[in-house]
Chains A and B, each alone.
Chain A
Amino acid sequence: GAGVSQSPSNKVTEKGKDVELRCDPISGHTALYWYRQSLGQGLEFLIYFQGNSAPDKSGLPSDRFSAERTGGSVSTLTIQRTQQEDSAVYLCASSLNQLNTEAFFGQGTRLTVV
C-alpha cells in the first residue's frame, strides 16, 4: 500500500489477556517506530527498528511489552498480560532511514483493556 497500515483499528481485550498489534510500513522504509498515546498525553516513543534489529527499545514501559520485525517489513507489537493502564492508541510510523526525523504514521490501533 501507499501508506503505513495498522491492524486492527480497534481492539477490546480483557485484563490479563495478550494482544498483538500489526504494522505494515511504507515499502522501502528501513526505519520503523512504535509510539503510544494515552488519554491526555503526547505521543510516547516505545521502540525503533532499523531493518529487523531494534537499536532503541528505551521506551518500552515494562517487560510485558515486546516487538519484532521480520523481513525488514512487517512489525508486531505484543503486550502480554494486559493491564487497564495499557489502554491507549498505539501508533506505528516509518521513515526511509533513521536520518529522516519526519516519519509517516499509520492510523493507529485503539486498545481498550476492560
Chain B
Amino acid sequence: DQQVKQNSPSLSVQEGRISILNCDYTNSMFDYFLWYKKYPAEGPTFLISISSIKDKNEDGRFTVFLNKSAKHLSLHIVPSQPGDSAVYFCAASARTGANNLFFGTGTRLTVIP
C-alpha cells in the first residue's frame, strides 16, 4: 500500500520555465514532508521540507506547497535550469527519524536547454 504517490514518472520542461512536481499522500497523520533530489549514480540529497503547520516553504528557486485538506504537496522550481534535471522524491512522516519516512516512487525531471 503506497502511502505516498507521485503519479507522474517523468516531466520535461523548457529552461527558464516553471517545473511543478506533484505528490499525494493518504495518511492524515503525516505532519512532515520532504523533497529529495537524486542524480544518476548518486544518493538522494535533501532539498527542502515543510511542516504541516505551514502551507508554503521557500528556499531560493524552490518552493514547496502543502494542501492538507487535499493531502497534496507540490514542488515548484522557478526558473528551471538544466542542472535541475534529476529524479525528485517526495517523502512524508508522522514521527521524527528517517526510519519513519515513506517515499514516493519519484519523478524524473528533464530541463531542456
Given the complex, which residues of B lie within 8 Å of A77, measured CB to CB?
Answer: none
| B74 lies within 8 A of chain A by Cβ | no
A93 adjacent to B105 (CB under 8 Å): no
B32 adjacent to A101 (CB under 8 Å): yes
A42 adjacent to B106 (CB under 8 Å): yes
Given contacts A102-B34, A102-B49, contact A33 B103 (CB under 8 A): no
Q: How large is the interface on A (under 10, 10 to 19, 20 to 34, 35 or more residues)?
A: 20 to 34
Given contacts A105-B43, A105-B45, contact A48 B97 (CB under 8 A): yes
A93 adjacent to B43 (CB under 8 Å): yes
Min Cβ gap A52→B in Å is 16
B97 adjacent to A99 (CB under 8 Å): yes
Given the complex, which residues of A lie within 8 Å of B43, measured CB to CB?
Answer: 4, 91, 93, 104-108
| B42 lies within 8 A of chain A by Cβ | yes
Task: Give B70-104 as 1s and 0s: 1 = Cβ < 8 Å from A's Cβ atoms.
Answer: 00000000000000000001010100111111111
Q: Which of A40, A56, A100, A105 contacts B44 (CB 8 A)?
A: A105
Min Cβ gap B111→A in Å is 22
Report the Cα distance A106→B49, complex, angstroms. Answer: 20
Min Cβ gap B96→A in Å is 5
Given the complex, which residues of A lie within 8 Å of B105, measured CB to CB?
Answer: 40-42
CB within 8 Å of A: which residues of B? Answer: 2, 4, 6, 32, 34, 36, 41-46, 49, 89, 91, 93, 96-106
